[in-house]
Amino acid sequence: MGMLSNGERIAVKYLLSTTQCHEKQFKNEVDNLMKVRHKNVVQFRGYCYETSLKCMKYNGVNIFAEKSPERLLCFEYMANGSLDNYISEELCGLAWHQRYKIIKGICCGLYYLHDECQINSFVIHLDLKPENILLDDNMVPKIADFGLAKLFDDNKTHTCATSRVGSMGYMAPEYIFEGIISPMADIYSLGVIIVQMITGRKLGPSGTEAFCSDFVGPVRNFMSDIKI
């Protein structure tokens, strides 16, 4: 957590890695965050990218070598942390109406990225998971971490990736096995999150009968306690 001169709290994300891959992710995240504005997408405040020189000896001679860059991203501060902290057997005491509001908020944020961005293109997140859903003081969910996101223009519906990056358990099968990137990849991830929100359990989407019964059983138990 950081503090601006006006007293506003902000969250500061400090990137340690200096690999070319992470350098690309940093630029990608800044590019995407500067183009999106929605109540269910974490608000981007700014960034810092700074390099400096360091005096050091090389073969007995003093030289100036460039140090690894310092890279930081600044966001609005989300006091209640990530959704990942609330997924448990009892979902940390979240009532059904709270779970519904969180699910609806995630859906609204994702719909904005896919259909309502005013940038002549749409954004595919590609790493939607509870850790990347942040909650503010009022438990309003906001989608975060756009390091793997893809920006598509209006006349493009899908593409194919040469390498797969993301979080296992939330990656769509067509993306894992065929490298196909489309908005449906995010919808698959959203489905997994909804299952976890309903059951309060981190069940992996295996597609087996055991998984289905594990899902249906807890939901029926929860629903039996609800008075409509």
Residues 6+ apart with CB under 8 A from 105: 40, 140, 141, 142
Q: Using the 8-state DSSP alphabet, how is residue 131 labeled?
A: G
DSSP sequence for 71-96: EEEEEE--TT-BGGGG-STTGGG--H
Residues 6+ apart with CB under 8 A from 59: none
Query: Are the C-beta atoms of 135 and 153 separated by less than 8 Å?
Result: no
H/E run at residue 56: strand 53-58
Q: Give catalytic residues, as residue numbers.
A: 127
Question: Hey, what's the torsion of the CAs at 89, 91, 92, 97, to 10 degrees?
Answer: -140
Distance of CA 98 to the CA centre of its chain: 20
Query: Are the C-beta atoms of 58 and 159 separated by less than 8 Å?
Result: no
